[in-house]
């Protein structure tokens, strides 16, 4: 319900809006136009009524603070604190999320006395299909030109120009040779069988045999050339795609699943291989025949040739209509394939969870729906093909009937020889094959160009994190870190870090403390430059992190995470991942420092032990110590520890902590831990809540504040430890009683 019902229902005649935002829900929750208007001293909530726009609520700007956006089930609400409660300023459907988020940022800046930031509120949409446009581009993926996509495929063939020229020569020569048999057959009938020129009989038969042999030889040469060309181009495409996937930021992967990306790397690039191996060579050869056959027919008798070619325009028109339909069908097919791959990948990676919670039947049902959806889309494509193919075949057969009718009358009237009629019939039969292949061409275009666009979508994705021409080389970092007014949100409509300021000296250890969701891991992700702040900046040794060469920075930053990922391979390979050239002695020294050497040497293969997929053949504590050894060997100046001792038993934690104590010496360290006892030795503790720093100091300094958040967290953990100790004591007593 609106607040301040005594406010005037009319908007003042002359106002100067500093902020404006549009909503599409009224204060009662019904659909309707609404606006937020903020002036230098007042905030107005305006809604459209049959009598015109009316002010349903207004608030003095000076009485508002802490604006925020609340996400509801199917709506968003822009609110601000007024006194001891929050009041609603505007409401809208979830489609207005970005507009509300931008309005919240503008209002927050205005309430702090800062200039209103110039944030674009309007969504950019495609002028053709009205779909939202991607950031930093005016190209709509749904309206991409297929012809341009095909031309882009040819760009990959530039390193193989000689092979392309040779392929064109073979196509032209093959077309000329293919046109010879009907011509020779004409003379065989007219000159040998009719005029009895027997001396030509052997030569014409030999000519037919030679043309067939030459045609087969050139076809073999074309196939070998195409195979070589396709191999090189396919390698280039997959290499470029993998290289681009390595460059893309974590924000790209946050919006996509592994199964979809795997599908693009395997199935989609495989479809491009089909384009280059089968599609393009066959199309070029048939296109040459479709040009050469009419020319040969016109040279013999242009009047009859026109009659023979009469159905061709109708076939081409039908093919073009069918192509547009099939492009949509195959686009749905590839999307269904991607969803199926994603579902399969998720189940295979989460097999233990599925079995633990008896989810086999649910996953089978879900995967069954994906399979049926994929099969139905493929069935739709095949049905369309089956309906279209007989129709085109019938239309093309009309050419043969026309030749028999018109050509037969010409032979009876003496205007055309039997040999010429036979040659015409042969040419018409030859033209049927390339036109039939035209059906395959449509199928190929529909499948392959859709796959190509999915590959190019990734290749064209702009890089969020990359070096620029002004990036500075910094081969040696001291480790000073400074956060200045840092704002960030994984989604534009939801900011997680709000105006964070923090300065860390080189060699200082900082402990990050707070409830789950307070923004600790997000802060670490920004420091690792997985993402860039949406506002503010992070400095390393006084230089903006965005201006430091990425390779120099990555080489001097290391991390030990809660779920340490190990690659399939040996223990030695995993420890030396950051330094592949490290000697075995250096690897063993790092393992000693991480308290990992003693369990490694107990394996039959020692440092050559295969760790399995994601390191599943090792225990959690063993994986963690290998991760610490990897970080020690990497020798970073800035070290990130994210719950490095979580989820392990006390003895394992002690051994891991000993390894960490050796690792942190002389480095700038940011450590996250829910077990606050592990952070007692930190130089400073930074306590975070809702994306802001609320407390900072040493362990003793923070405990001196009995009402502080850190003190509350410590008390909560002590209470939890008491509960655990009591439970373990009861278990021990029961065991003693049984004994």
3 state SS of 179: coil
pTM of the model: 0.61
Looking at the fold, whether 249 and 272 belong to one and the same domain comes out as yes
Read off the tokens for 555.
Answer: 């080489």
pLDDT at 7: 47
What integer is the mean pLDDT of 561-585? Answer: 86
Residue 679 lies in a domain: no
Structural domain count of the chain:
3
Chain Cα centroid distance, residue 702? 44
Residue 711 lies in a domain: no
pLDDT tens figures, 393-431: 777 677 777 778 887 887 777 777 788 778 888 877 777
Residue 718 lies in a domain: no
Q: Report the CATH number at residue 34.
A: 2.30.29
Torsion of CA 706, 709, 714, 717, to 10 degrees: 130
Looking at the fold, whether 149 and 123 belong to one and the same domain comes out as no
Looking at the fold, whether 53 and 181 belong to one and the same domain comes out as no
Percent of the chain with pLDDT over 70: 81
Q: Per-residue pLDDT for 36 more than 90?
A: yes
What integer is the mean pLDDT of 317-324? Answer: 72
pLDDT tens figures, 146-155: 667 767 777 7
Per-residue confidence band for 285, with pLDDT thresholds at 50, 70 and 90: confident
Highest averaged pLDDT of the listed ranges 193-202, 238-247, 546-555? 546-555
Nearest to 555 by CA among 671, 669, 641, 637: 637
Highest averaged pLDDT of the listed ranges 96-110, 256-270, 367-381? 96-110
Q: Which residue would you say has higher pLDDT here, 344 or 65? A: 65
Per-residue confidence band for 143, with pLDDT thresholds at 50, 70 and 90: low
Looking at the fold, whether 254 and 349 belong to one and the same domain comes out as yes
Q: What is the mean pLDDT of the chain?
A: 79
With a CB cutoff of 8 Å and minimum separation 6, the contacts of 318 are 388, 391, 392, 395
Looking at the fold, whether 452 and 486 belong to one and the same domain comes out as no
Q: Per-residue pLDDT for 617 more than 90?
A: no
Q: Any idea which of 60-74, 156-170, 318-332, 568-582 has the lowest mean pLDDT?
A: 318-332
What integer is the mean pLDDT of 323-352? Answer: 69
Rounded Cα gap, residues 535 and 328, in angstroms: 41
Per-residue confidence band for 739, with pLDDT thresholds at 50, 70 and 90: very low
Looking at the fold, whether 335 and 435 belong to one and the same domain comes out as yes
Domain-terminating residue out of 85, 115, 139: 139
Looking at the fold, whether 69 and 153 belong to one and the same domain comes out as no
Residue 642 lies in a domain: yes
Q: Any idea which of 165-179, 276-290, 521-535 has the lowest mean pLDDT?
A: 276-290
Residue 725 lies in a domain: no
Q: Report the CATH number at residue 598.
A: 3.40.50.300
Highest averaged pLDDT of the listed ranges 47-56, 83-92, 276-285, 658-667? 83-92
The residue segments making up the domain with residue 13 are: 1-139
Rounded Cα gap, residues 271 and 276, in angstroms: 9
Residue 720 lies in a domain: no
Looking at the fold, whether 259 and 360 belong to one and the same domain comes out as yes
Looking at the fold, whether 507 and 405 belong to one and the same domain comes out as no
pLDDT at 137: 44
Domain-terminating residue out of 402, 424, 459: 459
Task: Tell me the HSE value of 282 on the side-chain side, using a 13 A CA sphere.
Answer: 19
pLDDT tens figures, 469-520: 888 998 888 889 999 999 988 776 578 888 899 999 998 989 898 888 888 8
Chain Cα centroid distance, residue 545? 25
Q: Which residue would you say has higher pLDDT here, 366 or 76? A: 76
pLDDT at 541: 92
What integer is the mean pLDDT of 618-640? Answer: 85
pLDDT tens figures, 201-250: 788 888 888 888 988 898 888 888 877 877 787 788 888 888 888 888 77
Looking at the fold, whether 225 and 347 belong to one and the same domain comes out as yes
pLDDT at 327: 65
Looking at the fold, whether 172 and 133 belong to one and the same domain comes out as no
Residue 101 to residues 86, 134, 500, 597, Cα–Cα distance (Å) = 17, 18, 18, 52
Task: Tell me the HSE value of 146 on the side-chain side, using a 13 A CA sphere.
Answer: 16
DSSP string, 70-138: EE-SSEEEEEEEETTEEEEEEEEEGGGHHHHHHHHHHHHHHHTTPPPP----SPPB-TTT-PBPPTT--
pLDDT at 324: 66
Residue 474 lies in a domain: no
Domain-terminating residue out of 95, 110, 139: 139
Per-residue confidence band for 79, with pLDDT thresholds at 50, 70 and 90: very high
Per-residue confidence band for 387, with pLDDT thresholds at 50, 70 and 90: confident
Highest averaged pLDDT of the listed ranges 61-65, 311-315, 467-471? 61-65
Q: Report the CATH number at residue 426.
A: 1.20.1560.10
Q: Any idea which of 3-17, 356-370, 562-576, 674-688 has the lowest mean pLDDT?
A: 3-17
Per-residue confidence band for 725, with pLDDT thresholds at 50, 70 and 90: low
Percent of the chain with pLDDT over 90: 10
Other CB atoms within 10 A of residue 184 CB: 19
Torsion of CA 657, 659, 661, 664, to 10 degrees: -120
Looking at the fold, whether 249 and 371 belong to one and the same domain comes out as yes
pLDDT tens figures, 174-190: 878 888 888 888 778 87
Residue 375 lies in a domain: yes
């Amino acid at each position: 319900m609106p607040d301040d019902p005594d406010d005037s229902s009319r908007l003042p005649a002359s106002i100067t809006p500093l902020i404006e935002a549009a909503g599409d829900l009224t204060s009662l929750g019904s659909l309707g136009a609404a606006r937020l208007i903020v002036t230098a001293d007042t905030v107005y909530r305006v809604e459209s009524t049959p009598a015109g726009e009316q002010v349903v609520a207004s608030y003095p700007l000076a009485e508002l603070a802490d604006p925020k956006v609340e996400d509801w089930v199917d709506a968003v609400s822009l609110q601000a604190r007024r006194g001891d409660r929050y009041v609603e300023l505007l409401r809208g459907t979830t489609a207005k999320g970005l507009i509300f988020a931008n309005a919240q940022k503008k209002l927050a800046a205005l309430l702090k006395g800062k200039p209103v930031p110039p944030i674009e509120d309007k969504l950019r949409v495609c002028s053709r299909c009205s779909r939202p446009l991607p950031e930093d581009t005016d190209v709509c993926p749904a309206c991409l030109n297929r012809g341009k996509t095909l031309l882009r495929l040819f760009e990959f063939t530039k390193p193989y120009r000689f092979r392309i020229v040779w392929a064109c020569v073979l196509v032209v020569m093959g077309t000329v040779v293919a046109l010879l048999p009907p011509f020779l057959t004409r003379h065989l009938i007219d000159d040998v069988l009719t005029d009895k020129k027997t001396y030509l009989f052997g030569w014409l038969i030999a000519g037919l045999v030679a043309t067939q042999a030459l045609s087969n030889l050139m076809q073999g040469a074309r196939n070998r050339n195409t195979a070589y060309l396709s191999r090189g181009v396919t390698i280039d495409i997959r290499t470029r795609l993998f290289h681009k996937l390595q460059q893309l930021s974590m924000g790209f992967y946050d919006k996509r699943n592994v199964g979809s990306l795997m599908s693009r790397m395997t199935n989609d690039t495989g479809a491009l291989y089909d384009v280059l191996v089968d599609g393009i060579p066959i199309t070029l050869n048939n296109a040459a025949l479709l040009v050469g056959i009419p020319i040969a027919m016109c040279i013999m008798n242009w009047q009859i040739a026109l009659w023979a070619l009469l159905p061709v325009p109708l076939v081409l028109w039908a093919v073009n209509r069918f192509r547009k339909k099939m492009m949509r069908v195959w686009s749905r097919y590839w999307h269904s394939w991607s969803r199926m791959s994603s579902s399969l990948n998720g189940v295979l990676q989460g097999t233990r969870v599925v079995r633990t919670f008896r989810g086999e039947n649910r996953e089978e049902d879900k995967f069954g729906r994906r399979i049926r959806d994929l099969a139905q889309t493929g069935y739709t494509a095949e049905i369309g093909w089956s309906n279209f193919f007989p129709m085109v075949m019938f239309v093309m057969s009309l050419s043969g009937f026309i030749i028999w009718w018109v050509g037969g009358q010409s032979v009876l009237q003496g205007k055309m020889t039997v040999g010429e009629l036979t040659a015409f019939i042969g040419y018409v039969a030859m033209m049927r094959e390339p036109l039939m292949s035209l059906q395959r061409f449509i199928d190929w275009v529909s499948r392959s160009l859709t796959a190509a666009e999915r590959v190019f979508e990734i290749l064209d994705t702009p890089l969020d994190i990359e070096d620029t021409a002004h990036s500075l080389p910094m081969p040696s970092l001291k480790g000073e870190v400074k956060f200045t007014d840092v704002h960030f949100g994984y989604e534009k409509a939801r900011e997680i870090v709000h105006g964070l300021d923090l300065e860390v000296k080189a060699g200082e250890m900082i402990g990050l403390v707070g409830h789950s969701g307070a923004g600790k891991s997000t802060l670490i992700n920004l420091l690792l430059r997985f993402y860039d702040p949406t506002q503010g900046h992070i400095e390393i040794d006084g230089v903006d992190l965005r201006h430091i060469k990425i390779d120099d920075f990555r080489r001097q930053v290391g991390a030990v995470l809660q779920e340490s990922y190990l690659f399939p391979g040996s223990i030695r390979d995993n420890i030396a991942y950051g330094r592949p050239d490290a000697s075995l002695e250096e690897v063993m020294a790092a393992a000693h420092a991480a308290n990992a050497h003693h369990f490694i040497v107990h394996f039959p293969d020692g440092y050559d032990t295969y760790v399995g997929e994601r390191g599943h053949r090792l225990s959690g504590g063993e994986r963690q110590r290998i991760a610490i050894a990897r970080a020690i060997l990497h020798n970073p100046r800035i070290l990130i520890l994210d719950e490095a001792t979580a989820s392990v038993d006390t003895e394992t934690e002690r051994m891991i902590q000993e390894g960490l104590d050796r690792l942190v010496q002389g480095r700038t360290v940011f450590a996250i831990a829910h077990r606050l006892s592990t952070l007692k030795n930190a130089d400073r503790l930074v306590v975070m809540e809702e994306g802001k720093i609320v407390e900072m100091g040493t362990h003793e300094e923070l405990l001196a504040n009995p009402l502080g958040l850190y003190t509350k967290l410590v008390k909560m953990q002590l209470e939890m430890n008491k509960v655990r100790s009591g439970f373990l004591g009861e278990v021990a007593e029961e065991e003693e009683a049984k004994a």
